[in-house]
Structure formats: C-alpha cells, structure tokens
C-alpha cells in the first residue's frame, strides 16, 4: 500500500494513497472490532457492550502499531475486544463465532466495496468519482488484508482463538509453546511475499464474486 508508493519515489502518488488510506483504515478496523463485539453480544456476552466497544467509533478500537502496519503494508490489527466466554451457552462455539466475526465482516466489506467500485467505474466520469473509485479499491484491499492477517493462528489474533476453541487443551498448550516458531515462520512468509500472494488470491476471489453480481444487476 503506502510502502509501495513510498518505495516507488512518486511522492504525489504516496500523498494521494495516504489521504485515501487513513479513512479506509479507520473504517476497516472499526468494522472488524465492532463485528466481534456484536457477535459476542448476540451470543449472550455483554462485556464488549459494557466496555464501550460495541461501536464504529475508531477511538474505541485503534491500536497505534496495528494502524501503522495496515497503513504501510496493507495488513494490521486493532485492540482486542474483551470477551467473557462464561456468558456463552456453548463456550467453544461462542468463542469461535465471535473470533470469526471480525474477518468475516472484513470480507463482506471488501465485497460491498468492490460492488460499489464497479458502479463507480461504469457510471462515474468525473474526477470525484475517480477518487471515490480509488478509495473503494483501497477499502476492499485493506479489508482483505485485515481479514486474512487476523486468521493467522498466532496469539492474540483471531485465528488462534478459533483453534483454541476446538483443539484439545493439551494441543493448545503445545501450540502456545511453538508461538515463537510460528511468528518466525510468519516473518519469513512476509519476507518472501507469501502473505501478499494469499491476500491477492482472496482479493481476486471476492472481486470475481462482485463482478458476477454486478454483471447481473447492471
């Protein structure tokens, strides 16, 4: 994202990317965390609600380091939403659904953003509409990056919470012991660009679904 623009040396492109990325990040992170809180609330846990996290206000969710990573590299994280699994009727299912709600909300957001992008691309011919289309593309890309990144099984990301919900306790302990190894593998995957490939493939799948829907409607 912004990192690529900076490395290209095109300061004008970097400035435009920065101006469009900031509101996109706020939107994507807020939707992700609000989805966690909303899922927990619907399943009987009011912890996020009582903590003021059941909101789209970015002030309740933004983590500075995760914000900067999402801005520079296209993936990142926010402050974890507090959850009390004892309030769920089925603790494992409740935790898994709550954890998956964030990435799922991001993928839905990406789908909607791509659909709107096609509408703008077909009917927009002004400078404003071109800028809006670029903003929607950034929202979609960052939503995919946020969703994919948070499915990685590293604490405290959502992927680890899903695994913890269903893995035997002894396996969860073993997985926690290997967290440093998993993190090193993750850093290696970043360095090799493998995570970019995964995000691109997921993005292309969602883009294809949006294109099929819009071709039927427009």
Please say whether the beta carbons of 14 and 5 come within 8 A. Answer: yes
Residue in 192, 182, 146 with CA at minimum distance from that of residue 27: 146
Q: Is 134 a catalytic residue?
A: no
* Helix intervals (H) in the chain: 2-8, 11-42, 47-50, 64-73, 91-123, 127-150, 158-166, 169-177, 179-192, 194-217
Whether the bond between 194 and the residue before it is cis, its omega within 30 degrees of 0, is no
Residue 8: partners with Cβ closer than 8 Å, 6 or more residues away: 14
Catalytic residue among 1, 25, 33, 34: 33
Q: Which residues are catalytic?
A: 33
């Amino acid at each position: 994202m912004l990192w690529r623009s900076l490395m290209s040396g095109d300061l004008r492109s970097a400035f435009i990317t920065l101006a469009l990325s900031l509101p996109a990040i706020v939107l994507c992170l807020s939707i992700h965390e609000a989805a966690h809180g909303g899922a927990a609330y619907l399943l009987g846990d009011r912890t996020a609600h009582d903590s003021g996290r059941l909101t789209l206000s970015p002030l309740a969710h933004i983590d500075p380091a995760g914000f900067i990573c999402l801005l520079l590299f296209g993936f990142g994280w926010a402050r974890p939403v507090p959850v009390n699994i004892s309030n769920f009727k089925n603790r494992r299912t409740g935790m898994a659904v709550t954890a998956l709600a964030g990435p799922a909300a991001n993928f839905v957001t990406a789908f909607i953003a791509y659909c709107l992008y096609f509408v703008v691309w077909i009917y927009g011919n002004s400078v404003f509409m071109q800028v809006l289309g670029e903003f929607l593309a950034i929202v979609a890309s960052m939503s995919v990056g946020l969703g994919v990144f948070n499915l990685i099984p590293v604490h405290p990301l959502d992927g680890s919470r899903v695994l913890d919900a269903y893995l035997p306790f002894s396996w969860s302990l073993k997985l926690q012991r290997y967290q440093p190894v998993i993190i090193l593998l993750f850093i290696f995957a970043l360095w090799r660009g493998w995570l970019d490939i995964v995000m691109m493939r997921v993005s292309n799948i969602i883009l294809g679904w949006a294109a099929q829907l819009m071709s039927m409607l427009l």
